[in-house]
Amino acid sequence: MNQFELIEKLHSKDLSSGYAGVFLPGLLENKYKNYSRELIWQWFFPAISLTFIPETKKQKRYHLHERQIGETFKAQVFIKS
């Protein structure tokens, strides 16, 4: 399974559990209310768990921190070599 297929599967699971979408940059979240739930806007390297936002009482997903991506990449390079 490739990364995009994993994202599709996670996105489908999130939507069925009442997921409010990803965090969008700038004012996009206010201007385009449904964008955060569309597949095209999902993070390519999503965080493992959803984040609860107390102000809105909704769950959203962040992206993985860049350090986590770098560490995972280095580990994979080490394994492959």
Residue 5 has pLDDT above 90, yes or no: yes
Contact by Cβ (8 Å): 50, 63 = no
Boundaries of domain holding 43: 3-80
Number of domains observed in the structure of the chain? 1
User: Considering the entire predicted model, what is its pTM?
Assistant: 0.74
What pLDDT digit, counting tens, does each position of 29-58 carry?
889 989 999 999 999 989 989 999 999 999
Q: Is the pLDDT of residue 3 over 70?
A: yes
Write the DSSP string, 17-58.
Answer: TT---BPPSTTHHHH-TTGGGSGGGS-SSB-SS-EEETTTTE
